[in-house]
Amino acid sequence: MKRSLLKTSILALSVFSAELAFTHAQAKQPNIIYINTDDWGIGKVPSLEMDPASQSIIKTPNLDKLKADGMTFTNAYAGNAVCGPSRCTLLTGKHPGNAAWRANRKTLPSSVWPIDTPMLGEVARQAGYKTAAFGKLCHGGTSTPEEITATGWDYWMGFLGHIDCRDYYSSYIWENGKKITLPANAPELLKGTSTLEKPKGSGVVGMGKGTFIEELYADKICEFMTENKEEPFFIYFASVVPHGGPPGGMRVPDLLDYKDNPKLTKYEKLYCALLTWHDRSLGKIRAKLDELGIADNTIIIWTSDNGDENSYYRRTKTFDGNGPFRAMKRSLYEGGIRAPMIAVWPDKIKPGSSSALITTQVDVIPTVAEAGGNHVTKEMDGISIFPTLAGEPNKQTNRDYIYFEFYETGRQQSVRMGKWKGYRRDGLKGKTELYNLDTDIGETKDLAAEHPDIVKKIEEIMAKEHTSHPIWKLPGLDK
């Protein structure tokens, strides 16, 4: 009898242990890959159906599949209206009214940098992740190798500033604080290739040789995932695609199917090819996740750092980079800050779904913290969107409004409060415009005169969320 009871107890304990192990496996901390592209306008994501011309010309099959497999966020915003301030918001978790960078500048005084709260890599590490970062890794204008290493990355590869990273065939790159040469990209070996800045020469637009840095990042990401497949990892991939400009301009290994398209200029062919080459990087990363057997426990988020910039292909009308939204990069109208955002997490996120949750890049830090079982702290200005990613929108914290300010072009401020959007130039003394985004997504009809009570509330938010900045003494912005 006693032996029978003992057997029963052991069996029950075994079943309990198995159930506990199963529950633990189900609750396993997810890997996160956050892909932040550079100036990729929402209208240039074919699968989002914002611009018929983009749909018919730009080819991004892996991005299309990402959307089909996951969730599209229809109210997603970047961190700010231009790269430096936007990335500062992302990396520090501070909204633009509190962030150190609110315009692109080369230096920051010691009074505002470095910040004294954990940055993205540190938060991810504290949440139990092995961390890695690739690409455009500066917090604003230019960072030192020590600054990048000190902000929580176990491994990193990329560039220190937002200028040097633009060469897709740079002769050097930084890896874990050390500057290393890329022998295949020696200038004498690549002589004669064509860029936007130097279209003359041999007439060869594609490279066909050298180390294409966008591909290098994808390969290194796959290596990092392979080496760390047994433990949770967080990867920040700050791709420079499709940013152009000096020092290197837009150069690609091959023009792909765009080469013989008679409707495209040479610059448009280069631009479109860059988008498709990045799409191939995305496909390579997803294929490696499948190969390693960890795709089901990996969240992928793909987005952009601000609205569209079309000067890299000479501002033609071939594409409508911002779809129905007003203005573009450098503006706090919707076209400058609305961002494409797609997330995939198999078995958690319903394929082909969408979310109207209003979210910005200030939400990344709290989301990563919660994904690792840590609390969202008072130092974090954003909210965690982890419940939405985990298929539990009923547990999602919502917000009353989001706030932006940007200094470079007119000292702009904006507030999104539900369907209402307030915008003004010239800081706290400027005239506030008001738009109903439910009925006027293009911000064409100013309703401020009809709703003074809403304007007053928005102006109170603008005053509350703006904190004085020690760098620029700009008339009209500070009280």
Average pLDDT over residues 377-405: 97
Residues 417 and 395 both lie in one domain: no
What pLDDT, on the 0 to 100 scale, is given for residue 299?
Answer: 98
Query: H or E stretch including 303?
Result: strand 298-304
- Looking at per-residue pLDDT, the higher value among 296 and 26 belongs to 296
Per-residue pLDDT band for 246 (boundaries 50, 70, 90) equals confident
Q: Between residues 162 and 282, which one has the greater pLDDT?
A: 282
In a shared domain, residues 426 and 354: no
Same domain, residue pair 130 and 237: yes
**pLDDT value, residue 110:** 65
What distance in Å separates the CA atoms of residue 77 and residue 448, rounded to the nearest whole number?
A: 23
DSSP 17-49: HHHHHHHHHHTPPPEEEEEEESS--GGG-GGG-
Domain for residue 289, yes or no? yes
If asked whether residues 395 and 455 sit together in one domain, one would say no
Long-range pairs for 419-424: beta carbons < 8 A, 24 or more residues apart = 420/451, 420/454, 420/458, 421/334, 422/454, 422/455, 422/458, 422/459, 422/461, 422/462, 423/332, 423/333, 424/462
Whether 213 is covered by a domain: the verdict is yes
| Any domain includes 18 | no
Report how many helices (DSSP H) and strands (DSSP E) the chain contains, helices first: 13, 14
DSSP codes, 232-256: -EEEEEE--TT---TTT-S-BS--G
CB 425 within 8 A of CB 411: yes
User: Tell me, what's the pLDDT at 298?
Assistant: 98
Same domain, 134 and 282: yes
- On whether the CB atoms of residues 192 and 185 are closer than 8 A, the answer is no
Q: Which two tokens stand for residue 373?
A: 């079982």
Q: For 51-64, what is the mean pLDDT?
A: 94
317-328 tens-digit pLDDT = 899 899 899 999
In this structure, of 24-28, 168-172, 363-367, 404-408, the range with the lowest mean pLDDT score is 24-28
Query: Of the candidates 364, 399, 434, which is a domain's last residue?
Result: 399
Helix, strand and coil percent figures for the chain, each rounded to 5: 35, 20, 45
Residues 233 and 302 in one domain: yes
Residue of 154, 272, 280 whose CA lies nearest to 218: 280
Burial class of residue 134, CB neighbours in 10 A (0-12, 13-18, 19+): buried
Tell whether the model's pLDDT for residue 188 goes beyond 70. yes
Q: Report the CATH number that the domain containing residue 142 is assigned in CATH.
A: 3.40.720.10
Query: What is the pLDDT confidence band of residue 248, given thresholds at 50, 70 and 90?
Result: confident
Query: What's the chain's average pLDDT?
Result: 89
Q: pLDDT value at position 396?
A: 97
Amino acid at 250: M
Same domain, 72 and 132: yes
Q: Which residue has the higher pLDDT, 249 or 52?
A: 52
Domain assignment present for 19? no
What confidence score (pLDDT) does residue 47 get? 95
Residue 276 has pLDDT above 80, yes or no: yes
How many residues does the structure list for the chain? 479
Whole-model pTM: value is 0.91
Q: Which residues of 54-87 are buried (b: 16+ CB within 10 A; e: fewer)?
A: bbebbbbebbbbbbebbbbbebbbbbbbbbbbbb
Bridge partners (DSSP) of residue 420 are 417, 436
Residue 134 scores a pLDDT above 90: yes
Q: What is the pLDDT of residue 193?
A: 62
Instruction: Name the one residue in this structure whose structure tokens are 């007053």.
Output: 456
144 and 249 in a single domain? The answer is yes
User: Mind listing the pLDDT tens digit for each residue in 7-37?
Assistant: 444 444 444 434 433 333 346 899 999 999 9
Q: Quick one: 360 and 436 in the same domain?
A: no
Out of 367, 399, 431, pick the residue that ends a domain: 399
Boundary of a domain, candidates 345, 371, 399? 399
pLDDT over 50 at 99, yes or no = yes
User: Cα(first)–Cα(last) distance of the chain, in Å?
Assistant: 84
Query: For residue 298, which phi and psi values (nearest 5 degrees)?
Result: -130, 125
CATH classification of the domain holding 424:
3.30.1120.10
100 in the same domain as 149? yes
- The reported pLDDT for the residue numbered 141 is 75
Range of the domain at 421: 410-465
Q: Is 24 left (phi over 0), alpha (psi -120 to 50) or beta?
A: alpha
Q: pLDDT value at position 113?
A: 75
Instruction: Give 354: exposed, middle or buried? Use CB within 10 Å, 0-12, 13-18, 19+.
Output: middle
Same domain (yes/no): 179, 198: yes
Asked if pLDDT for residue 427 goes beyond 90, the answer is no
Question: Which of the pair, 275 or 197, is modelled with greater confidence?
Answer: 275
Give the pair of three-digit tokens for residue 169: 């065939």
State the Cα–Cα distance between residues 249 and 195, nearest whole angstrom.
5
Query: Does any domain span residue 44?
Result: yes
Provide the number of structural domains found in the chain: 2
- Domain match, 317 and 425 both: no
Distance CA 63, CA 49 (A): 13
Residue 151 has pLDDT above 70, yes or no: yes
Structural domain contains residue 162: yes
Q: Is residue 1 part of a domain?
A: no
In a domain, 100, yes or no: yes
Q: Is the confidence at residue 340, as pLDDT, over 90?
A: yes
pLDDT of residue 479: 41
